[in-house]
Amino acid sequence: MFKKVKKFLKALGPGIVTGASDDDPSGISTYSQGGAKYGLAALWTLIITIPLMAAVQDCDRIRLTTTLRKHYPKWVLYLLIIFSVPAIVLNIGADITDMDAVEHLIFPAVHAIVFSVLFTGVLLFFIIYLPYLTFGSVLKYLPIDFI
């Protein structure tokens, strides 16, 4: 039984991370408000999203940048980077801000900016000092998407 569970957990990959990408703090705060308003009305989307997560996991060996390099001119890749970087930075900022707000609710005596600096520092430490494979293997078990 333990070997089956270990094999299953080892098989989890980027599909799970992609599927959990809306479970970051900014997504949770957004979807909590949507869920409070609409309830279970959007639950049918699981029928679509679960196969998409599996497809992303199966296509993991071929990276997006590799595909763009093979089939498109360089300016398409550069355009993708120009549009993606601000969105990624703003999303990380929203995640950190939402985590600050939650921690401030738990510890109201500590100012939220302290948590912002702490979360940013811990995240940067792990990004800089952990090899990507180690960091990715840890992130796949966490329902967050900082990267």
Q: Is residue 32 in a domain?
A: yes
**What total number of domains does the chain contain?**
1
Q: Which domain holds residue 49?
A: 7-139
Structure tokens given for 55: 């497809």
Q: Is residue 64 in a domain?
A: yes
Q: Which pTM was predicted?
A: 0.54
pLDDT digits (tens, 9 = 90+) for 99-108: 788 788 888 8
Q: Is residue 46 in a domain?
A: yes
Q: Is residue 145 in a domain?
A: no
pLDDT digits (tens, 9 = 90+) for 11-29: 666 556 555 555 666 677 7
pLDDT digits (tens, 9 = 90+) for 73-110: 888 888 888 888 888 788 788 878 877 887 888 888 88
Q: Is residue 83 in a domain?
A: yes
Q: Is residue 118 in a domain?
A: yes
Q: Is residue 88 in a domain?
A: yes
Q: Is residue 147 in a domain?
A: no
The full DSSP string for 111-122 is -HHHHHHHHHHH
